[in-house]
A and B are shown apart, each in its own frame.
Chain A
């Protein structure tokens, strides 16, 4: 990991590492100045609540990208968990959530095994689940949207503690846990090592396969949590809409947040800022009654800039 950074001029490196915070800051200032009713607690809550499913999925995505992989299945795993939830609410909320999380974990075992043991490229291994996962979700749900009536699940989606929405608290806790995992645990070190140089990690005797599988399992479970949160928020399980294109939003948040696509580095706080930045861009356009399809163009431009900044030498050419 160190060898890529030394070839970059320090200014570029700083922009790559802190650019997302600067962009977020500028956008917040713009909105404070020009958007009506922006500086309200209700608005802050709305933006945080809306970003939670993508943020939670992006945390897992950051870990996978840190191993030089990518998990294209997170959107479909969200749909799968959304589809499983109402099927098991008859046993109570906890069992239903456990089944949904188990579904996510199994998806992670599936892609993790394909990547780590069979040796299939992550993009292909998870593409299989991207297609199959949503298909399975639609089959389980009979293709239909189901209204949720479980009062505890509805409370999870709309309730708040001390003025902070419960889903935001969940996202905050998960961010702390994943951040801690990356920075202070052996697993985190191994993950970064595997992503930085897999051959060297194998030679050094690191548990490469286990690390990879565990990483994909974490991503699957987090995607399942994202699906549960999205369902609770919508007050309905809608496997055809929930998680649609979430994998791309998650990848965007991670990349914009400064985690390089070639692995060996995980930036959790940057990912949070990246997700918030994307959320705020689309919110700004909606609040100013501009066509929200324009948000896609702006987001694309930001992704290009972020990826350019990650190149070993800016403008170095071929």
Chain B
């Protein structure tokens, strides 16, 4: 572009910049939000220690992994969170780790957040090692790419537990154990609820999660395989990605419901897409819970609320409260006992029968 205009003193831009910042501060200062019903206190669910479903998989001991026994109370533990604590899952997960660290009485808990950047997560973990972390709990951003951080921990015989996402590395060798939900099982349980809602017969649309994500693949396979096995008369007539986002879920649902107005069920692979789908269904004059049944996965407060109102048929929980299980596993491991290499966290199921009573345990 031609810089035809003769340049004027640059401070004009600075003034605008400064006033914009000032504007931002004023905005934040005199904000007055819409009156809403006071949300139930967060973190009440933390009281509920998730019980690991008993598994007879391979185990790992500190002698196999290398390192020395340690009392958790005198240990510095590092926690690396992958994504900003903006969504309910991450908020509940970090809170649960912090609460349980306090309860277990660890000497110090270091916490970091990678803000969805892999390079930051690697340097976060290396920083915590340099600060003297003796055990690490990592919520990996991605299944791949954390090798530099893992090998730094490995070099110092620091035990690493990965939570919620599994890394592509050898358990008990590159890291100690993985603690997480069984996403295939979540899909299966959603399929069972769908079969129940539709009396084993009908047409279903699936709102897929983000493409190329193993959570999406597992939740889809679990659902589709279970329907084939136990309710073959339920047909999956549409599968479209809603990117785990509410607005995308709403838009995709609006298109599907018009192209196929005779569907009876919607399976959303997370709560946010289900909430978007409910808006879309209502605006297409369908009554969720009567004309069409929606099943989803996560167990967020908003979704469980919709179960109590009858708009969602069922929500399969994806439990974010890894704290109790993680510190229990660390404790056993550091005191020389064998621990499972794959610890499956138990997920609840919210239906109209228990949603009102369990609302406080949703996140």
Contacts and interface: CB of A to CB of B under 8 A. Distances in A.
A80 to B, nearest CB: 9
B118 interface: no
Contacts of B250: 233-234
Nearest to A93: B34
B240 A292 contact: yes
A185 interface: no
Contacts of A89: 32-34
Contacts of A144: 86-87
B86 A138 contact: yes
Nearest to B88: A144
Contacts of B28: 87, 139-140
A113 interface: yes
Contacts of B84: 143
Interface residues of A, number: 68
A8 interface: no
Contacts of B20: 106-107, 110
Contact of B5 (A50, A84, A208): A208
Given A87-B32, A90-B34, A208-B5, A43 B246 contact: no
B40 interface: no
B3 A119 contact: yes
Interface string B28-48: 100111111000000000000
A122 interface: yes
A116 to B, nearest CB: 7
B27 A118 contact: no
A36 B259 contact: yes
Interface in A130-162: 136, 138-140, 142-150, 158
Contacts of A241: 245-248
A118 B33 contact: no
A199 B86 contact: no
Which 6 interchain pairs have the tightest Cβ spacing? A90-B32, A143-B86, A89-B34, A287-B259, A87-B31, A199-B4
16 contacts: A36-B259, A87-B32, A107-B20, A113-B16, A119-B7, A143-B84, A145-B272, A147-B36, A147-B302, A208-B4, A241-B245, A241-B248, A286-B255, A287-B258, A289-B237, A292-B252
Given A90-B32, A238-B246, A287-B256, 20 more contacts: A36-B260, A42-B258, A43-B258, A110-B17, A110-B20, A116-B5, A136-B24, A140-B28, A140-B31, A143-B84, A145-B246, A148-B34, A150-B34, A198-B2, A202-B4, A234-B250, A286-B252, A286-B256, A287-B259, A292-B241
